[in-house]
Structures are given as C-alpha cells and as structure tokens.
Amino acid sequence: MNQDCAVVRRRISLVVPFHNEAAVISQFFVSVTSVLRGLKDVDYEIVCVNDGSTDTTLDMLLMACKHDRHVLVVDLSRNFGKEAALTAGIDAATGDAVIPFDADLQDPPEVIPRLIERWREGYDVVLAKRAERNTDTWTKRGTAMLFYRVHNAISETLIPNDAGDFRLMSRNVVEALKQLPENRRFMKGLFAWVGFRTTQIEYVRLSRAAGKTKFSAWKLWNFALEGLTSFGTLPLRVWTYIGGATASFAILYALYLTLRTLLRGVDVPGYASIITAVLFLGGAQLVGIGVIGEYVGRIYMEAKRRPVYIVRKVYGSDGA
C-alpha cells in the first residue's frame, strides 16, 4: 500500500478559557472527555487557559492535568479577558484542528463529532450555529439580533448570525489567525476576516451547567462597541454625511430667511427655535467627537504594542 494513502491519526485541540469556573470544572471534564475518548482515529488535547481566576479554578485544572496527559493548562499572569485568553489558547494549541469551547457547557460536547465530520469532508471552518436562543433572556436575544444586524450593515467583514466562538478551524486557519497583530481583539470578527472554505451546522444551546455568567450588561455593551469599531469606518464616515446635510439645510434656511425678509420685512425670531437648533447641533457635534474618540482610543492602545496576554506558567506535556 502506498504510504501516502495510509490513514493518519489527526489531532484535535479543544481551547477553553476559564475564569472563576470552579463550580463547573468537574462536570466539564466528565462531559468533554467522554465525548473526545469516543472519537475514532483522532487524538486530542484540552488546552485550558486560566484567565486570572480568584477561586479554586487553577487548583482544579492542575489536578485534572496531573491525572490526564491530554490536558494542558496555560496560566495567565492576570485576568486579560476572554478574547485574550482565547488567543492564548489558540497560540498554544498544537492540533490539526482547533475548537474554541466554553467551560459552562452551554455548547454541548456531543456536537464536536459533527464538526469533525464536516472538517473531514474538506472544510477549513465549520461553524456551530445556534438553532434558537431560548436559554437567553428576551433582552439578550433582542440586543444580540440588533448587534448582528448593525455590525453587518456597517462592516466590511460579515459575521454569521447566531454563531459564537464555538466552531472548528483547520491548522491553516489557525496559522492565519496567529499572523494578525491586533492587541484589541474581537475574535468573532477575526474568525470571519481570515475567510477559508466554510460550512455550518445547527445545534441547540443549553443552559449553563453551573455558575454564573461573567458578562454583565456593561461588559456586553463595551464588547459590542469593540465589534462595531473593529472592522469598518462607517461610523466615522456617517458624520461627514450628517455634517453635509446640516450645512445644506443651513444654506437653504438662510436663503429662506433672506427671501422672507425682502418680501415681508424683519421680524424677531423665536427664542425656542434658536435654543433647539443650538442644542441639536451641539449634541450632534459631541456625539461625532465621541465616535472619533472611540477610534482614536483604539489607535492609542494599538500604538503601544503591548502583548495581548502574558503567560505565567504552562502545565502539561511541555510544562511542569
């Protein structure tokens, strides 16, 4: 038999950020390893990134690492945020394919074999799209739908609706992601930006197995702003149009006043209309300055060239 045609045992890397997830870790490893061990002709590793946890998360991860050679623990020096932790895990992953995964088990591990099946068909990216969002509150569903619509309307890089970080990416995609130098990282946008041959499957997302979400309303708002300003300049460009429209209106209004004065004489303009115009223009200018400030702030942070994350220690096959 030709050696080139021999079956090659491929390796899957599951990348999981952890931040104060002690309540779910035991159940996580039981659920995930039972699925991964059942995969045929596939080796695997579980890259666990401790993102500055203050509970017993790190201790429990180290215990899992000690008893399972497939577990690799990347301990960050502090809490850098989920996007940075996800980047650290992707950088550390050695598999032929990488699957970002949440520790809360809202994404069922049983979906992983379906992702691998489509990957074996030749796709570089296999998206896991939520068939419905019944586990989310009405407010979260509404704001998520609004975010996707607004982002895709103003951005040059389209993000698939209802597709989170849960997906499979081939080694080619991972190497492309590692070339992107951004410090402020919006991973859903970066995943979409690199492209490659993509397909998707649908699944039903579950409720959290244990613990509480780490994303408050304020964090979600800032996360949305990060996404809206990361992949397009339309929020800046729109103020050119607003300024042009306002100037055009002012010129037309000036012509109207001139004609009215010539035809009807001079009268005393209303105080209310003046105050309304001043407040409107002042507010519009402040909003425009705020939008510019968002972009200038991103330039400022990127110009520092700080690393996305700092690793304190790696535990596992290459660590202690």
Query: Cα 278–284–290 angle (5° rounding)?
Result: 135
What does the pLDDT look like over 26-75, one tens digit per residue? 888 888 888 888 888 888 899 999 988 888 889 889 888 888 888 899 99
Q: How far apart are CA 158 and CA 148, in angstroms?
A: 9
Confidence of residue 76 (pLDDT cuts 50, 70, 90): very high
What was the pLDDT predicted at 2? 46
DSSP state string for the chain: --GGGSPP-EEEEEEEEESS-HHHHHHHHHHHHHHHTT-TTEEEEEEEEE-S-SSSHHHHHHHHHHH-TTEEEEEESS---HHHHHHHHHHH--SSEEEE--TT--S-GGGHHHHHHHHHTT-SEEEEEES--TTS-HHHHHHHHHHHHHHHHH-SS---TTEEEEEEEEHHHHHHHHT---SS--HHHHHHHH--SEEEEEE-----SSS--S--HHHHHHHHHHHHHHS--HHHHHHHHHHHHHHHHHHHHHHHHHHHHHHH---PPPHHHHHHHHHHHHHHHHHHHHHHHHHHHHHHHHHTT--S--EEEEESTT--
Question: The tokens of 130 are what?
Answer: 């939520």
Q: How far apart are CA 119 and CA 59, in angstroms?
A: 34
**CATH class of the domain whose range is 10-216+308-315:** alpha beta
Confidence of residue 188 (pLDDT cuts 50, 70, 90): confident
Mean pLDDT across 254-274: 65
Residue 319 pLDDT > 60, yes or no?
A: no
What was the pLDDT predicted at 3? 46
Question: Which region among 169-183, 200-214, 299-313 has the lowest average model confidence (pLDDT)?
Answer: 200-214
* pLDDT, the chain, mean: 76
Mean pLDDT across 259-275: 64
Mean pLDDT across 253-276: 65
What does the pLDDT look like over 126-177, one tens digit per residue? 888 876 656 555 666 666 666 667 666 666 666 677 677 888 988 988 888 8
Mean pLDDT across 184-196: 79
User: Domain locations in the chain?
Assistant: 10-216+308-315, 234-303
Mean pLDDT across 272-291: 69
